């Protein structure tokens, strides 16, 4: 099906010409939800990454490095191992719920641990890095106890993919993004104050440091959990998209956050397209494609930081 036919299939019946029922179903129930999920996922992960980088003052931070995505992967793996995903009708939602709950518990632990030292940004980052390795190890351990079918399901989920995206998943993830993203954007001025110096500088500029860090972090985690619980682990988007935006428009969070969302959405749309057509009929999961794109950009970021003496 060409682009013109796909476009006509989106129009009302009187306008879509000779499109067959199968073509209409493919476009409206398969391709369109997949594209919208890619847009929502890219925008949400990029905004979350930029927000987390703001509250930690570290542009090498992302939802993955803070342990949120690996925690969600572990929760999904446990649900698959115990067979709750096989329940007729509601099985997939048990997996989603387990991933979402695991991500929230990880965040709660990180924030609680950081609170022991006044919710310091350094502690927040180091706690997340440690949990990232822990959850990755536990997910790998779970795979040794599963059957071949369960192992395949776990591996497929940890790759990150938009295959099988449905309108219900799009609506849930989209709703979480629409509710939490404005909360992050409302703290753009506070994030600029964070970037101006340490906590004392932010406090002198009238920012409630602890409350801001908690609210922004929780909102970013909700966005991330609402996405990775459905599509699996997609790394580098939350790291690379904000970096591209900084190089393009600067570091003002009032424009950086929405611009990073646009960059992330475009990045995942392109990555998903490449994964579907590069080795057709084999479909490469979007998480793998993004890794191939993100690693060179990540290395460039590290080299840039080193040249700056950081």
| pTM for this predicted structure | 0.84
Write phi, then psi, for 89 (nearest 5 degrees): 85, -45
Question: 131 is written with which tokens?
Answer: 């949990």
Helical axes 286-307 vs 237-249, angle rounded to 10°: 50
How does 70-90 read in b/e, with b if 16+ C-beta sit within 10 Å?
bbbbbbbbbbbbeebbeeeee
Band of residue 105 on the pLDDT scale cut at 50, 70, 90: confident
**Tens of pLDDT, residues 120-169:** 566 767 777 888 889 889 988 988 888 888 887 788 778 888 887 888 88
Q: What is the mean pLDDT of residues 14-30?
A: 64
Contact (Cβ atoms closer than 8 angstroms) between residue 66 and residue 238:
no
CB atoms within 10 A of CB 235: 23
Which CATH architecture describes the domain 33-304?
Orthogonal Bundle (1.10)
Tell me the domain boundaries of the chain: 33-304
């Amino acid at each position: 099906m060409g682009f013109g036919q796909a476009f006509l299939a989106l129009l009302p019946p009187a306008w879509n010409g000779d499109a067959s029922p199968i073509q209409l179903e493919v476009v409206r129930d398969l391709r369109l939800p997949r594209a919208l999920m890619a847009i929502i996922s890219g925008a949400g992960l990029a905004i979350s990454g930029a927000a987390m980088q703001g509250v930690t003052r570290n542009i090498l931070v992302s939802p993955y490095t803070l342990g949120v995505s690996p925690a969600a992967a572990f929760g999904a793996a446990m649900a698959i191992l115990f067979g709750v995903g096989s329940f007729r009708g509601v099985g997939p939602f048990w997996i989603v719920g387990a991933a979402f709950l695991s991500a929230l518990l990880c965040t709660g632990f990180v924030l609680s641990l950081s609170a022991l030292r006044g919710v310091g940004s350094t502690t927040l980052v180091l706690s997340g890095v440690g949990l990232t390795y822990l959850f990755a190890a536990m997910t790998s351990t779970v795979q040794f106890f599963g059957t071949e079918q369960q192992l395949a399901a776990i591996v497929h989920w940890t790759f990150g993919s938009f295959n099988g995206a449905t309108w219900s998943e799009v609506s849930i993830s989209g709703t979480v993004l629409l509710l939490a993203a404005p909360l992050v954007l409302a703290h753009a001025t506070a994030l600029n104050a964070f970037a101006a110096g340490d906590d004392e500088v932010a406090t002198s500029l009238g920012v409630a440091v602890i409350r801001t860090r908690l609210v922004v972090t929780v909102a970013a985690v909700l966005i991330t959990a609402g996405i990775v619980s459905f599509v699996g682990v997609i790394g580098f988007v939350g790291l690379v998209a904000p970096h591209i935006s900084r190089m393009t428009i600067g570091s003002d969070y009032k424009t950086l956050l929405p611009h990073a969302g646009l960059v992330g959405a475009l990045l995942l749309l392109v990555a998903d397209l490449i994964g579907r057509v590069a080795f057709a009929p084999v479909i490469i999961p979007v998480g793998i494609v993004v890794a191939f794109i993100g690693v060179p950009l990540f290395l460039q970021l590290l080299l840039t930081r080193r040249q700056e003496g950081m």
